[in-house]
Amino acid sequence: MGPYVFGIRVCYFMGKIKNNSLYLIITEEYGRGRSAAEIAKKAIAGGVDMIQMREKNRPREELIKIGKSIAALCGDKNVTFIVNDNPLLAKELGADGVHLGQEDMKLYPINKVRKLIGKNKIVGLSTHSLDQLAKANEDDCDYIAFGPIFPTKTKDYSIGTKDVRRVLEIAGKPVFFIGGINLSNIDTLLGKGAKNIAVIRAMLEADDIKTMAEDFKCRLTENRKERVRHAIKN
Ligand code: TZP
Ligand code: MG
């Protein structure tokens, strides 16, 4: 929520996703020995808006334990908590939503997911091409992730920034750009109109996660101010 102006609360939210959002995706094994909870705590202190638990091939008890710890930290600070891959787990953890990849949707069709988790919850979809993005735009999801934009150890290909402007023209909902984003390349993306980003390693591998989150958040906020200044001038 924003401040009151003339007695009216100015809301910074567009639907369920905040503008200029910084979305941290946590896979504990990339965190240089730090626990998911420790990572989440530092990232929240640095200003992340959303956190996703993305743990592959871990036993259920561990997913529940990690999920509960992140959910509690997010709940305390009003940070959105999303569970990757599994809407049933998202529901069990009382998460704010679920994130599905193209393969996950075969197992969990999006309309069933929506019914399962409820209309007030968040459903995010991964897309890797303009065709997938156009399809996701029609689907009942709340945000779309698009990438991998830059080369990343997490994926074996990247698609570059050539489609970024087109993505933003087509998408009727918030888009998170993802893949290899760091403080050295983020400006290329923001310069093409990107507003929201999602990151894994740039944050998880940082010596100081809190400062890294602050630096990312600062770039997003500066970018928003720059867009406003530009809009006023023209
Ligand atoms: N989807 C597209 S790229 C990516 C995912 C999950 C990995 C992003 O990780 P990193 O470390 O920020 O490149
Ligand atoms: Mg998945």
Do 110 and 140 meet the contact criterion of CB atoms below 8 Å apart?
yes
List pLDDT tens digits, range 170-227: 999 999 999 999 999 999 999 999 999 999 999 999 999 999 999 999 999 997 777 7
Token reading at 157: 């290909």
CA 85 to ligand 1 center in whole angstroms: 14
List pLDDT tens digits, range 20-60: 999 999 999 999 999 999 999 999 999 999 999 999 999 99
Peptide bond into 59 cis (omega under 30): no
CA 103 to ligand 2 center in whole angstroms: 7
CA 59 to ligand 1 center in whole angstroms: 22
SS3 track for the chain:
CCCEECCEECCCEECCEECCCEEEEECHHHCCCCCHHHHHHHHHHCCCCEEEECCCCCCHHHHHHHHHHHHHHHHHHCCEEEEECCHHHHHHCCCCEEEECCCHHHHCCHHHHHHHHCCCCEEEEEECCHHHHHHHHHCCCCEEEECCCCCCCCCCCCCCCCCHHHHHHHCCCCEEEECCCCCCCHHHHHHCCCCEEEECHHHHCCCCHHHHHHHHHHHHHHHHHHHHHHHHHC
Token reading at 182: 């760091």
**152 Cβ closer than 6 Å to some ligand 1 atom:** yes
Degrees, nearest 5: CA angle 181-186-188: 120
Residue 112 pLDDT greater than 90, yes or no: yes
**199 Cβ closer than 6 Å to some ligand 1 atom:** yes
**117 Cβ closer than 6 Å to some ligand 1 atom:** no
Ligand nearest to the CA of 55: 2
Q: What is the pTM of this model?
A: 0.92
CB burial class (10 A; 0-12, 13-18, 19+) of residue 69?
middle
pLDDT of residue 125: 98
CA 2 to ligand 1 center in whole angstroms: 31
**147 Cβ closer than 6 Å to some ligand 1 atom:** yes
Residue 1 pLDDT greater than 70, yes or no: no
